[in-house]
Each structure stands twice: as C-alpha cells, then as structure tokens.
Chains A and B, each alone.
Chain A
Amino acid sequence: MRSKQLELFVGLFVVLGFISLAYLAIQVSGLRTIGNNNTYQIQARFDDIGGLTERAKVSVAGVTVGEVDNIVLDKELYMALVTVNIHSDVTTIPTDSAAAILTNGLLGEKYIGISIGAEEEYLKNGDELYDTQSALVLENLISQFLFESTSGDNE
C-alpha cells in the first residue's frame, strides 16, 4: 500500500539521520565512550597561566591523562589556582612532579604538561602540585631579549 511505502521511506530518512549523527560523533569529533566520569582532582598554582582555558588537556609524556576543570584567582597569594581532573586509571603520578603550561605547536592552544618526579608517594584526590612553571608570555620574552641585547651592547 502506498502509505506503507511512505512510512518505510520516512523511517529510512530518520535512520540515515541517526547514522550521520553517529558518524559525526565518533569519527569526526572523536567522542569516546563516556566512562571517564571516574576522575580525581589535583590542584596547582601558577604565576601566570598565559592563555590556558578550562577543558584544556593535561598530559604526561605527551599522553592526555585529564583536563583542566576550573581556573580561579587565589586572592591571598595572587596566583592562578588551577583545578585539574585526572583519569582514575592514572594513579602513579609522584607527588613531586612538575606541572608546566606549554603551548601546542607554535601558535596553538595552551595545555598542562606534567613531568614525572622521583618520589614514591603518588598523588591522590585533593593533592597539590607545588612545582609549577608558568606559561611563556611572548611579550615578556621579547622584552627580556631586547633588554639583554641592549644591556649587552652597553658593556
């Protein structure tokens, strides 16, 4: 019957929509299965976060192990207090590891790279990383360079 055929086509249409959506989700945006609600939180204070934003990645040896959850100003120390979510299956980050704000590529976005320390104690939920390195701010670099080069000339 004509209406059966119609319903078939409409059904196919909707299915096509879902397939496309799934394709976009998985292949295009790399949506992984969302089992990563298991995270624990670490904090770190930086002098200057540069252009670090929330949801920026956090990596160890270049492998993404978490993301930035929250950035606020610590009003007593006037430093940036960054809260980071780390995946629960990464449990072996030593407590003396260093966190640095690095740039992805030459003009890319900022992310946090953690260099592993030597301690045998590992980070737990709520711990803080004390060894931090702020972002390289381009203007400071340039003025530093100019200053050094001019003072160098004067000698």
Chain B
Amino acid sequence: MKSIQYIGSASLAWLASFGRGGLFLFQVMFHKPKSLSSVFSLLFKQIYSVGVLSLVIIIVSGLFIGMVLALQGYTILAQFGSEQAVGQLLALTLLRELGPVVTALLFAGRACSALTAEIGLMKATEQLSSLEMMGVDPYRRIIAPRFIAGLICLPILSIVFSAVGILGGEFVAVGWLGIHGGSFWSLMQQSVFFSTDVVNGIIKAFCFAIATTWIAVFQGYECEPTSEGIGRATTRTVVLGSLSILALDFILTAAMFGDF
C-alpha cells in the first residue's frame, strides 16, 4: 500500500517539477534584456566557457570516432566487396546520427554539468538571492546568457565534430587502408544531400541543445543549496540530459528520415 502511495506522490512531484521547468523555460526565453550590448558581453563570456572550452574534447572525440568508423566500416564492407562505400557510410553516419548525438552527450557531460554546478554554487552562496534583493533579474544576468550560449554552441560543436570525423575517417580509409581517394569522395558526395543530411543533423543538434541546456540550467537553479544538493543536481543533469538526447534522437530520426 505504502509503495503505491509512494509511486503516486513521486509521480505528482515529478509532474510538478516538469511544470516548474516549463515555466522556468518560458521565463528564460521571454525575459526582457536590459540592452543589446549588455546581452552580448554576458553572452560572449558564456560562449567561451561553454563552447570554446569544449572544443578540445569534441575535436579529439570526433577524430577518433571518425577513424574507428572508417576502420570498422571497411572491415565489414570488404566482405561484400563494397569497400568503396565506406565514404558514404562514414559521412551519413556522422552527419545524421553520431555527429549530433555524440556531441550532445559529450556536451551534456562536460558543459552542462559545469553549468549546473556553477549555478548551484551561486545559489548555495546566496549570490542568486543577493542579485534578487538588489533588484536584478537573475534570469537576465545569469540564466539566459548560459541558455542562449548552449543553443549557439552545441550546433557549432556538432558541425565541427562531423567535419573532423570525416577528416579522420578519410585519413584512415584513403591514407591507411588504401581506398581510392577519388571514389571515396565522389561516392560520398553522391549520397550526401546538404539539405537533408547536413541540415537535419544541425536541426537535431539544436533540439538537443534546447533540451540539455534547459535541464542543466533548471537543475542548477532548483537544487538544494548544500554540497550534496549540488552534487545530486549535477548528476541529474548528466543523466537526464543524456536520456533526453537519446529519446529525442529517436523521435527526430523517425520524423526526418523515416518514410511517413
């Protein structure tokens, strides 16, 4: 009996927090910025810490994943005599799926957890409270710049990831495994359509950006202002963010590449 009660109250609490999150998102998106220049200076700082600092991990991961894809793809395709198609395999897999998804997962782990911890710490040290008491909207000053930075950075990072991955794959396929460079590229070019594959990949990345950054910022804002509270919130950001990326990926893939 008690466990059923617990499930009930937990679901209600979960729904309530989802509602709060929705209101939070609404408030973040529709707050009034003070002036354009102030928006930019805050935003730049955030883009730096969220985007530029994530470049290293994205580039290194992209490189390795591209190389592994080319290697594995070659091994399997060679069984059918279709090694030439490895370029196609590499490009389509990266552009449509791995680029946006892996970048988003890495982003959720690195940048989003940092966001949650930062905002949580501000809450714990009463910096958010003092902002409020000074009549400054914490949404405008703290939350919104971070949110917008996430929306801008993740698609860019995803593009860089795919590009670097393809470069890495080319190095393995053409430079190492001996596939003819010309056919590698021409087959790839024939099968990759900018307007569907590349653009859809970017759209996916953008959707992931909204989901993960929203979760990150919300968790930080809502967390308990204690050290365990911040730790729990950070973990929740990474877990919830990753799960929502994967779930969204399925929905978006079905919508974009399915035949409905």
Contact = CB atoms under 8 A, between A and B. Distances in A.
Interface of A: 3, 6-7, 9-10, 12-14, 16-17, 19-21, 23-25, 27-31
B189 A13 contact: no
A12 B194 CA distance: 24
Contacts of A30: 186, 188-190, 192
B47 interface: yes
B93 to A, nearest CB: 12
B192 A28 contact: yes
Interface string B40-56: 01001101100110010
Interface in B183-242: 185-186, 188-190, 192-194, 197-198
B55 to A, nearest CB: 7
A122 B156 CA distance: 48
Size category of the B interface is 20 to 34
Does more than half of chain A's interface fall in helix, strand or loop, or is it mixed? Answer: helix
B105 interface: no
Contacts of B193: 29
B160 A17 contact: yes
Given A28-B166, A28-B188, A31-B194, A6 B159 contact: no
A95 B166 CA distance: 44
B151 interface: no
B91 interface: yes
B28 interface: no
